[in-house]
Amino acid sequence: DGGITQSPKYLFRKEGQNVTLSCEQNLNHDAMYWYRQDPGQGLRLIYYSQIVNDFQKGDIAEGYSVSREKKESFPLTVTSAQKNPTAFYLCASRGTRRETQYFGPGTRLLVL
């Protein structure tokens, strides 16, 4: 069953804590993306990666970090520097250039 999985579905962060969101795909896609979604603001790009061991900042990268050690995996860490992390986080992947991005089910991050 091909697709994109994200875990956990809900994540709670305490003040000053780093948390990591998982994103895995078995579509053999080269490119992967992380978006943040807030009500009324659409989707904003955090980071993206077009190939293993390489990634680029998106529009709102401050307070976030990523790694791309495997083609299938693109985890996102929300660091303590991100002062307003409460949001819905979506991971996506894409095959060839300019083709469709496919999305995972999302992770909702809440602050305790």
Partner 1 sequence: AQSVTQLGSHVSVSEGALVLLRCNYSSSVPPYLFWYVQYPNQGLQLLLKYTSAATLVKGINGFEAEFKKSETSFHLTKPSAHMSDAAEYFCAVTFTDKLIFGTGTRLQVFP
Q: By CB under 8 A, is residue 29 in contact with partner 1? A: no
CB of 4 to partner 1, least distance (A): 8
Question: CA separation (Å) from 76 to 24, 83, 109?
Answer: 11, 16, 12
User: Judged by CB under 8 A, which stretch of 14-22, 64-72, 75-83, 88-96 contacts partner 1?
Assistant: 88-96
User: In 3-state terms, what secondary structure has residue 79?
Assistant: coil
Q: What's the angle, vertex CA 110, arms to CA 112 and CA 101, rounded to 5? A: 160
**Is-contact 3 27, C-beta < 8 A?**
yes
CB of 97 to partner 1, least distance (A): 6
Q: Determine the Cα–Cα distance for residues 72 and 88; give it in Å rounded to an integer.
A: 21
Q: By CB under 8 A, is residue 71 in contact with partner 1? A: no
Whichever of 19 and 92 has its CB closer to partner 1, that residue is: 92
Tokens for 12? Answer: 């709670």
Query: Binder to partner 1 among 60, 61, 65, 103 (CB under 8 A)?
Result: 103
Binding site for partner 1 (CB under 8 A): 4, 6, 31, 33, 40-43, 45, 48, 50, 58, 88, 90, 92, 94, 97-98, 100-106, 108
